[in-house]
Amino acid sequence: EIVMTQSPATLSVSPGERVTLSCRASQIVNSNLAWYQQKPGQAPRLLIYGASTRATGIPARFSGSGSGTDFSLTISNVQSEDYAVYHCHQYHNWPGWTFGQGTKVEIK
Amino acid sequence: QLQLQESGPGLVKPLETLSLTCSVSGDSISNSNYYWGWVRQPPGKGLEWIGSLYSGGRTSYNPSLKSRVTISLDTSQNQFSLKMASVTAADTAVYYCARHEPPIPGFGGVMGLDPWGQGTLVTVSS
């Protein structure tokens, strides 16, 4: 099983700041990685796939990077609606997809 | 616009079988070149992929759950279902259905899980 480790568990950020979330895979997953945003009581929403491609309708302030085992999600100019939990997901190993445990972005 | 909606009992007794249905609108499950999957999230925890079903009927399951899980298609109702046998308290979670492209092992081939249903909470308790 490919273990996905996200860090940190919680990030405290002020509106307007830039924040970077990390996700590390225990094995190489190439660029087969997605990021999701989840707000309380809601389903996850796809933000990024292919490690760096924004999904339809996702604002340009969200960007993804990385390949292999180390990945990051950057939110520039954090808005009030961006406070949420962010999950990474590797889909390289089929049928053994796995997710990270999530990083919570909270208001500072 | 594609929409998915989960339904099923919110309470299941230990050792019984959990049964959920995902109703799809805006696309025909049987005619699409997509996989239809299930993901769960225990309270306060991360996401876990359960398994997926191709429109042609082929299924793939999380190896850790494979012995207890069955995903099936009901083309007449444009729905797909999840059955999980011998549940315990550890199976208490919000269960989501979602769509994805056909995976290519080792090469990805997928553009993420999108869209998702709103989720349904299933509690395992006597």
Distances in whole angstroms, Cα of residue A71 to Cα of each of A22, A27, A63 = 6, 12, 11
- Closest residue of chain A to B114, computed from CA coordinates: A46
Distances in whole angstroms, Cα of residue B83 to Cα of each of A61, A72, B113 = 40, 35, 20
Which residues from B are below 8 Å from A92, CB to CB? 106, 108
Which residues from A are below 8 Å from B100, CB to CB? 91
**Alpha-helix residue ranges (DSSP H) falling in chain A:** none
Which residues from A are below 8 Å from B104, CB to CB? 94
Rounded distance, CA B124 to CA B8, Å? 13
Q: How far is B94 from chain A (nearest CA, A)?
A: 9
Q: Which residue has the tokens 């339904």?
A: B7
What confidence tens digit (pLDDT) does each residue in B57-78 have? 899 999 999 999 999 999 899 9
3-class DSSP state of B102: coil
What confidence tens digit (pLDDT) does each residue in B107-123 have? 778 889 999 999 999 99
- How high is the mean pLDDT of chain A? 96
Of A69-78, B27-36, B102-111, which range is least confident? Answer: B102-111
Q: How far is A41 from chain B (nearest CA, A)?
A: 9
- Closest residue of chain B to A85, computed from CA coordinates: B46
- Mean pLDDT value of segment A67-74: 98
